[in-house]
Amino acid sequence: MKKVFSRPRSLKSTPFHYCAGCGHSIIHRVICEVIDELGIRGNTIGVPPAGCAVVAYNYFDVDMLEAPHGRGCAVATGIKRTLPDRVVFSYQGDGDLAAIGTAETFHAANRGENITVLFINNAVYGMTGGQMAPTTLLGQTSTTSPPGRNAILDGHPIRMSEILANLEGTAYIERVAVNSAQNILRAKKAVKKAFQYQIDGAGFNMIEVLSQCPTNWKMNTVDACRWVDEVMSKTFPIGVIKDTGKGRKDAD
Amino acid sequence: MSDKILIAGNWAIGEAAIRAGCRFYAGYPITPQNELTEYMAENMRRAEGGTFIQAESEIAAVNMVLGASAAGARAMTSSSSPGISLKQEGISALAADELPAVIVNMMRGGPGLGNILPSQGDYFQATRGGGHGDYRTIVLAPASVQELADLTMDAFDLADKYRNPVMILGDGMTGQMMEPVVFGKPRPRRYNEKYVLKGAGEGKSKFIRALILDALRMEEHNWKLVRKYRVVEQNEVRFETYKTGNARLIIIAYGIAARIAKGAINRLRDSGMKVGLIRPITLWPFPAQIIRDTAERIDRFLVFEMSTGQMIDDVKLALEGKGHVSFYGRPGGVVPTPAELAKAIVQEYRR
Amino acid sequence: MQIKTIFAGFGGQGVLMMGYSFAQAAMFEGFHVTYLPSYGVEVRGGTANCTVAVSNEEIASPVASQPDYLVVMNNPSLMSFQTRIAPGGAFFLNSSIITGRPNRSDVDIWGVPTAEIASELGNPRVQNVVMMGAYVKMTRIVSAESYLKSLKSILGTKKKAAMEINRKAFEAGFNYIE
Ligand SMILES: Cc1ncc(C[n+]2csc(CCOP(=O)(O)OP(=O)(O)O)c2C)c(N)n1
Ligand code: SF4
């Protein structure tokens, strides 16, 4: 009999510390399944961020190097340039990637660094307790936008995937979600394709994942999953944002 | 009595700053000082002419403060250890430009990401300037929430008086804990308009800059800053002495560590041991003179820090080889109890 | 005199409010007081606690390595704090959900069925204030008047009805324990 819920080889047995219903747990599992399926566990180096996923090395059974807050793409660049035949990925929250780390992200993309970036967009700063993120929606309340995000005072939510898609160096960018079984399957396909693109030397690729944060959204898991569909994905539409086709055809 | 309120340290800084006329705040989330950023998000927008910006990084935040300060606002930014490392570029620029600003560091365990617990590992960074170049930052080290409130108000005055960045060096615990506070009356701002950039209008235009390519002129700017720092050293040293009168051993500690030391001293005094405390309130300028003077009567000192030993260097410099200095430290976010410290002191006392 | 109390329970049981309301009452009575909440990652696990120190002189450390009193609203908190309580101290247990007994024989143990009492009053959300009634009565650090004054200043802007139910909850806890 085939076990349906077996743990991926590259996922450690440590129980997750994430809040109930948190998207990070699902995304970790998806990435580990892909690493298993591609058979790259021994060949992969990951870069976890400062953020709720800061202790990702407790879960991923691959080599990992913690980056200072926001510097994931720069740290990953250093690893990849030194060991070009390894699969290198960075895992970053929205505050990490699109606020403090904007410059590192932007320029790694522009250089076409052959790395894979997992960009976890939960529209808030999770770890520090629910402050406004660059991806916080207009009108969304947070501890630093108590009356709701106001475009004039706080700017607009940043669509990082669309912005990076404009750079010549990017090979493949897709936005996915993990709020339903169907979306998780699509997310897994996208992550697999991204790693395959890297293996094929296609250049910078990024998967943006809309990830529920029930704790700071102050919702239960069901409502949080629904909010991704009904509200969040209106500002951040799901789908392929750029695909140069530079990776192998069968990557799809 | 009725205006005494129970308030957390981080909020007390925010409230004191707004009362002191701070009208520009930029910050970036980091534990354990988020309550201050959140307090400013809530209240700065309500203060007349107040601006709150959640910056995209600590580097951006401190540089926003640089701009606001040059444009005449009383301006502040805050963070905790890793974020303060990023602000160093801006602090160096503020010092070079001779612009007033208040920078709050609620220290946490380091180095690197470290943890979010109270620590005192940033003493060197704070008191040696921290960024590149020959400069100094006035550093205030509060030990209670009341003092956080009072020193925040003073920090703005000192920044204006010396046109220099002033750092409030607290820790995770003073920021998180609540204590009764009575807010003092802020003094009216005294800051010469001639330093403010507003647009030249019909008059002569001016500029503020730190780039001075000519070596002799750059040198002159450095000596000019030093002359200013000498005045600060003459006028602004602050410290507290506690039960030093008949003491045979003096503890030297600052901030939350000094409170723990007082607890330890009281225990030891109860059992007849003559121990006292010198608590630097300004870490720069450092209260070297009182330490040197004390060494005329007492020759044993124990420096206690929540670090592996940083202020001890300043104590040794102050003593100029006099007396005997020992050290007790708990780095990394450990907060020792007064009882634990008392044990360490007893060992030293009995020697 | 210096007395330290840890208030602990689930986030949502109002343990921070218990500590704050007590600390403020002590301030009204002119004591030195510190209130220290747990913060950061500790909070993510879903438990919350705070430490209140009350003294008639300056308080050295707001941390309680050996609290005199322990007010515990759930089982996990009992497990994590019971060994730390000072000999001769006292536990205040929410006996509605705490099934175990502390493994300490050198301390007093007071059980208060806060859920039952609060539901008799028709409002399960005032369980924490029920507990404070018992705590204030037995510890005698602050008077009932000071505590109610503190509670009132916290509820301040809310409706009179809220103060009324909280006052009743306090009295019920106060009268429950002898
Ligand atoms: C220089 C620096 N500034 C601030 C922090 C504090 N900090 C830790 S994680 C984080 C951001 C968390 O938000 P996000 O990147 O969106 O990830 P999430 O926790 O939501 O997954 C911040 C601001 C830090 N560690 N270093
Ligand atoms: S705070 Fe949000 S992002 Fe962080 S673990 Fe909890 S649910 Fe996940």
ipTM score: 0.94
Confidence of residue C134 (pLDDT cuts 50, 70, 90): very high
Span A163-175, average pLDDT: 98
* Residue C12 confidence (pLDDT): 84
On whether any CB of chain C is under 8 Å from the CB of A167, the answer is: no
Contacts of C44 in chain A (CB under 8 A): 17, 19, 215
CB-CB under 8 Å, C61 with B259: yes
Q: Is the pLDDT of residue A1 over 60?
A: no
Euclidean distance between CA atoms A151 and A141, whole angstroms: 13
Instruction: Give the one of A70, A129, A144 whose C-beta lies nearest to B57's C-beta.
Output: A70
Q: Which CATH number belongs to the domain containing residue B317 in this structure?
A: 3.40.50.920
Band of residue A252 on the pLDDT scale cut at 50, 70, 90: low
Determine, for residues A131 and B54 on separate chains, whether the beta-carbon distance falls below 8 Å.
yes
Query: What per-residue confidence (pLDDT) applies to A249?
Result: 59
pLDDT for res C100: 84
Residues B261, B222, single domain; the answer is: no
Query: Is the per-residue pLDDT at C47 higher than 60?
Result: yes
Give the mean pLDDT of B21-47: 96
Domain count, chain C: 1
pLDDT score recorded for residue C157: 72
Per the listing, tokens 């580097």 go with B59
Same domain, B222 and B248: no
Give the model confidence (pLDDT) of B203-225 as tens digits: 999 999 999 999 999 999 999 99
- pLDDT tens column, A179-194: 999 999 999 999 999 9
The pick from A25, A26, A27, A52 for probing ligand 2's pocket by mutation, whose C-beta has the most ligand atoms within 8 angstroms, reads A52
Question: Which of B219, B235, B251 lies at the terminal end of a domain, its last residue?
Answer: B235
Q: What is the CATH number of the domain that holds C46?
A: 3.40.920.10
Task: Express each pLDDT in A9-62 by its tens digit.
Answer: 999 999 999 999 999 999 999 999 999 999 999 999 999 999 999 999 999 999
Nearest to B72 by CA among B24, B13, B138, B15: B24
pLDDT at B45: 82
Which residues are CB-neighbours of B231 under 8 A, at least 6 positions away?
Answer: B162
Residue B108: the pLDDT is 97
Please name which of B140, B129, B198 lies closest in space to residue B167, comparing C-alpha atoms: B140
- Ligand 1 pocket test target in A73, A92, A102, A127 with most atoms within 8 Å of CB: A127
Residues B188-199, mean pLDDT to the nearest whole number: 96
Q: What is the pLDDT of residue B61?
A: 98
C3-40 per-position pLDDT tens digit = 999 999 988 899 999 999 999 999 999 999 999 998 76
A24 CB less than 6 Å from ligand 2?
A: yes
The reported pTM is 0.95
Q: Provide the CATH number for the domain around residue B12.
A: 3.40.50.970
pLDDT interval class at B160 (50, 70, 90): very high
Supply the range of the domain harboring residue B273: 240-349
- Both B84 and B202 in a single domain? yes
Domain residues for C14?
2-176
Is residue B158's pLDDT more than 70? yes
Instruction: Please give, rounded to a whole number of angstroms, the shortest distance from the CA of B142 to a CA of chain C.
Output: 14
Overall number of domains in chain B: 2
Q: What is the Cα–Cα distance from B13 to B153, expressed in whole angstroms?
A: 9
In three-state secondary structure terms, B240 is: strand
pLDDT in tens, A123-154: 999 999 999 999 999 999 999 999 999 999 99
How far is residue C134 from each of residues A244, C113, C117, measured CA to CA in Å? Answer: 70, 11, 12
Q: Does residue A214 line the site of ligand 2, with CB under 6 A?
A: yes
If asked whether residues B203 and B302 sit together in one domain, one would say: no
Please report which confidence band the pLDDT of residue A101 belongs to, taking 50, 70 and 90 as the band edges. very high
Same domain for B204 and B260? no
Distances in Å between the alpha carbon of A216 and those of A54, A131, A136, A208? 17, 9, 12, 19
Give the domain-ending residue among B216, B235, B254.
B235
B342 and B214 assigned to the same domain: no
Cβ of A160 less than 6 Å from ligand 1 = no
A215-251 pLDDT, tens digit each? 999 999 999 999 999 999 999 999 999 999 998 755 6
Q: What is the edge-to-edge ordering of all strands in the sheet holding C69-72?
A: B5-8, B178-181, C32-37, C47-55, C2-10, C69-72, C90-94, C108-112
**What φ, ψ does residue C35 adopt, rounded to 5°?**
-130, 120
Q: Are residues B216 and B249 in the same domain?
A: no
At which residue do the structure tokens 């070297």 appear? B288
Mean pLDDT of the residues in chain B:
97
- List domains and CATH numbers for chain A: 24-251 (3.40.50.970)
Same domain, B180 and B244: no
Question: What pLDDT score does B13 carry?
Answer: 98
Distance from CA of A158 to the nearest CA of C (A): 27
Residues of chain C neighbouring B31 (CB-CB closer than 8 A): 39-40
Task: Dump pLDDT digits (tens) for B78-129.
Answer: 999 999 999 999 999 999 999 999 999 999 999 999 999 999 999 999 999 9
Picking from B24, B25, B51, B56 by the largest number of A CB atoms within 10 A of its own CB, the best residue to mutate is B56
Cβ-based neighbour number of residue A43 at 10 Å: 16
